[in-house]
A and B are shown apart, each in its own frame.
Chain A
Amino acid sequence: MSKRSVADLKIGERAVIQSFDNQLMSLKLLEMGCLPGAEVCVSGKAPLGDPICLNVAGYCLAMRKSEAATILIDN
């Protein structure tokens, strides 16, 4: 089974960030506080399920599903 990513999370589900699978996107996400080891929680989804809203480091971050899919999580 391939690794799970933040995009696979349901609303309210929590996970811990493990790594990134896209270097360029990871630069942007790292700066916003999406760090390996940080806990994230999907707090909501836009209509049609994309983009998603993520609680990370104490604030709310919206991103597209395709971007969330580059954040791999522990399972």
Chain B
Amino acid sequence: MKSSPVIALVGNPNAGKSSLFNQLTGLRQKTGNFPGVTVDKKSGPWSITDQLTANVVDLPGVYSIYPKSLDEQIVTDILANPAHPDYPDVAVVVVDASNLHRNLLLFTQIADLGVPVILALNMLDVARQQAKDVNAVRLAMQLGVPVVRINARTGEGIEPLKKAVLGQLRKPTLQEKLFFDPGEEAADLIADTKAQYQLGNNYLALQYVIQHDGFTFLNHQQQAGLDAIITKHQFNEPTFQAGETITRYKRIANVVAETVTDQRPADQATWTQKLDRVLLHPVWGYAIFALVLMLIFQAIFAWAQPFMDGIDTGVAWLNGRLKDSLPEGPLTDLLTDGILAGVGGILVFIPQIAFLFLLVALLEESGYMSRVMVIMDRIMRKFGLNGRSVVPLISGVACAVPAIMATRSIGTRRDRLITILVTPLMSCSARLPIYTILIALVVPNQRVLGIFNVQGLALMGLYLLGLVSALLAAYVLKLVLRSKERSFFIMELPTFKLPRWNHVALTVWESVRAFVWEAGRVILAISIVLWVLASYGPGDSMQRAEEQVRQQSQPLDADELANRIASERLEASYAGRFGHFIEPVIRPLGYDWKIGIALISSFAAREVFVGTMSTIYSIGTGDDEGVTIRERLRQERNPQTGDRMYTPALAWSLLIFYVFAMMCMSTLAATQRETKSWKWPMVQLVYMMALAYGAAFVTYHSLS
């Protein structure tokens, strides 16, 4: 027996796999990527005996081993490749006893691949409610594998499961005969493949033939070899695969007839069906969804605010403490103004991300999210998207990085790509500080119609602009990106359930962790680079700038002098030079070199914009920063004309620029990882920047 065996959990979506995973591993789970692919992997230790701890891997839910989307691909990639580090010593196939017929399809396929399996019969309580009963002993005899009755929600049946796993680890028993043996119908093809690729299992050989294009563990030569075998035997894959599915279901029907007693009364509407009548209703369906959306927005913007303020204060306090206690010098500056300022900019978004994912997880857990996908599919389709694109678009309001990762469940490659490309147009929480400051600068704080605040309306308008532009961009992309692949939307509607709270909590924790880690690393690096660029200049130009200020302005008080010096030094630094260098490009939008630096620096993450502006406009610390920067911007004069610098035209131009601009390295990195190419992040960067530039140009010139 191996010292640390791998146990894989496999099963249909909603079969209770993740509940079982949580039961087995407690909260000691790790998330990561499957080697070589960017699909979330959950794994964790499971103490089977005092001496033996297994590594449990939770695989994505699938209906069969023929994958329909990227996250499903991973299942076959592991189960068909014994050399994979996650290849299981035992596969526990979790099946929903209330829908045994369909769930057994996947089970028989996995057993046929030659993986030692255990069938975990879950949801017997649901089956019992439907007046169905499954005889586990007969099922085990029929299938020739160990069957264990479990309840993944309560943890019943874990002990028998341990025994069964130990038994399979000590002496693996495999099915004596394949449930479906392709060697009977395609003997020559299978024999050829087995010989050429040294395979022992007929069904695995069939998978090599049918799925070789998708198998990442085969090299080009091996894939070409399989193409040759297909041509040689004139093998028709889809027909054979359809035949396989039908044959399996026929045999499964016999097994089910032997093991399941069904005394269900003729069609009684379940309460899920009753609820669906309201949730999918032409009027109420949309009204309820609109209410849910409003709740999400309310949570992100109102409920999260106190927590964000708290984090902000905490970081500022820590920054102050560090500045006071550490000796003055470049290293302290780097730590406080560079690293802590950058990381603080990330931490402040945790409450919004947490609220968003809390609500999205609740909607998914309860089963409502699939209803949203159904009622939105028709509308989304018009724009080249998919009902499943709804989740990424909603998540994009918090942060585009996890939203882009959420596109993995979209089965059509083109639908998924379009969703990835347009998601960053949704106004993420990082744009909020910019919106807030600039709106406060140009929009009066007044009420209209008694209840609406004009500034609030302007803010909502910017979010709507983001949504509308995402849909329009998707529409254009739909026209540009032609594909022979047919878009599809086939989805099981799960029954409504009460959410599992520990599962919800875990989801929130994982998305926050991923966000802080993924975005944090990039921002950390960029803030260090930026700090260096802003703190150093060529030769002694920075010293000279400082001396010049000291000579010119003798009567200033100490604070003001320090601010002036900081400002002049910044202009003389590498960052300042760069701002001047790009000034001709941004001049048509009404921006000067100072805004230029802020634009460039905010490329790491938009939220850096506000911080850079306060540095550039040399705002001393200590005062309420938000108010001060607004006042400072209001006073800023245009050096050529002497008029106000921040006219409504300029502020709106900046606002519109930030609605569209692709100012986020982390998002580009996410797009690169998810599309596995540099082409798409570049396309995203170019089209969004062009859009931002064009729209800001038009805004500036029509307002000034």
Contact = CB atoms under 8 A, between A and B. Distances in A.
Contacts of A25: 486, 488
B363 interface: no
Interface in B101-117: 101-102, 105
Contact of A59 (B102, B374, B375, B387): B102
B280 A44 contact: yes
A26 to B, nearest CB: 6
Contacts, number: 111
B647 interface: no
Contacts of B375: 46-47
Interface in A37-59: 43-48, 50-51, 53, 57-59
A35 interface: yes
Interface string B455-490: 000000000000000000000000000000010111
A27 B242 contact: yes
Interface in A1-53: 23-33, 35-36, 43-48, 50-51, 53
B282 A62 contact: no
A31 B491 contact: no
- Contact residues of A: prevailing secondary structure: mixed
Interface residues of B, number: 43
B337 to A, nearest CB: 53
Interface in B274-299: 276-277, 280-283, 285-286
A26 B242 CA distance: 8
Interface stretch (B63-71, B139-147, B575-583, B626-634): B63-71
Interface size class of A (residues with CB under 8 A): 20 to 34
Contacts of A61: 490-493
A46 B377 contact: yes
Given A60-B492, A62-B490, A67-B489, A51 B102 contact: no
- Contact residues of B: prevailing secondary structure: helix
Contacts of A27: 66, 238, 241-242, 245
A63 interface: yes
Interface in B196-219: none
Contacts of B283: 47
11 contacts: A24-B238, A25-B486, A32-B490, A33-B102, A35-B246, A44-B273, A59-B99, A60-B493, A61-B491, A64-B381, A67-B489
Interface of B: 63-64, 66, 68, 98-99, 101-102, 105, 130, 238-239, 241-242, 245-246, 249, 272-273, 276-277, 280-283, 285-286, 370, 373-375, 377-378, 381, 387, 486, 488-493, 495
Interface of A: 23-33, 35-36, 43-48, 50-51, 53, 57-64, 67
